Amino acid sequence: MPQITLHPAWLRLTHWVNAVSVLVMIGSGWQVYNASPIFPALRFPAAITLGGWLGGALLWHFAFMWLLVGNFVLYLGLNLATGRLCRKMLPLTPRSLFLDFYAALRGKLAHDNLSHYNAVQKFAYLAVILDIVVLVLSGLAVWKSVQFPLLRELMGGFDTARVVHFFAMTFLVMFFIVHVAMVMLVPRSLLAMIRGH
């Protein structure tokens, strides 16, 4: 049986590096959030945070941000350069998205063909790429609000940039939950992301 490589090595590598950096960024980010919650009713249990205290969490956050961004640039750059992004994610029409989403709601949407993404998958993967861009830019606005005035104003000021950062994180977490649930339904996709086929 000929083996078709579904995911090239660079894609698998950047996927897993991204997975690790995203987990570290979220865990440490939750600890940082707890120091001054945007929503007083919402605090993250210490057991699911990283860093132990605010100072420790910030060390993790400001270390792994380099890995996240560096890896993301590599991922996006190779995806664009090889034409994989266009090949895999396009075309994506509102009609196909609507039909596939409706089918998904009725439990009739197939997502077990690893070489082809349905419209909902295409949308989710493109959305999470965009979400990481928003996360990085809002994070940069929070970290360096004085040095990047244009970015700060684009995010609606320092305080609003924090809120944008929070909701971009929320979207990423929701994506993560759905993504892992889908992988559990089609375990073959996990193997494909590890060994390529």
Partner 1 sequence: MSLKRTRDTDERPAALDADSIIKDARRELAAPMRRLFGKRILTLGSLALLSGCELKDDSSVNTMLKRISFFNDDVQGWLFDPRKLAPTYPESMITRPFPFNAFYDIDDVPTVDPAGYRLKISGLVRGKRLWTLPELHALPQTSQVTRHICIEGWSAIGKWGGTPFSSFLKYAGADLGAKYVAFQCADEYSTSIDMPTALHPQTLLTFTYDGALLPPKYGFPMKLRMPTKLGYKNPKHIVEIIVTNTYPGGYWENQGYNWFGGA
Q: Minimum Å distance from CB 1 to partner 1?
A: 8
Looking at the Cβ atoms of 38 and 177, the one nearer to partner 1 is 38
Q: Minimum Å distance from CB 51 to partner 1?
A: 7
Looking at the Cβ atoms of 49 and 121, the one nearer to partner 1 is 49
Phi-psi region of 44 (alpha: psi -120 to 50; beta: other; left: phi over 0): beta
Looking at the Cβ atoms of 101 and 148, the one nearer to partner 1 is 148
Q: Minimum Å distance from CB 81 to partner 1?
A: 27
Q: Minimum Å distance from CB 75 to partner 1?
A: 20
Distance, CA of 2 to chain centre: 32
Looking at the Cβ atoms of 24 and 120, the one nearer to partner 1 is 24
Cα dist from 190 to 1, 17, 42, 71, 120, whole Å: 20, 15, 33, 20, 19
Place of tokens 């929503």: 39
Distance, CA of 191 to chain centre: 20
Looking at the Cβ atoms of 10 and 148, the one nearer to partner 1 is 148
Q: What is the binding site for partner 1 (CB under 8 A)?
A: 1, 20, 23, 27, 32-33, 35-36, 38, 46-56, 58-60, 62-63, 66, 142, 144-147, 149, 158-159, 162, 183-184, 187-188, 190-191, 194
The stretches of 82-93 forming alpha helices (DSSP H) are 84-89
Name, in order, each residue with C-beta under 8 angstroms of 106's C-beta and a sequence gap of 6 or more. Answer: none
Q: Minimum Å distance from CB 103 to partner 1?
A: 23
The amino acid at 101: F
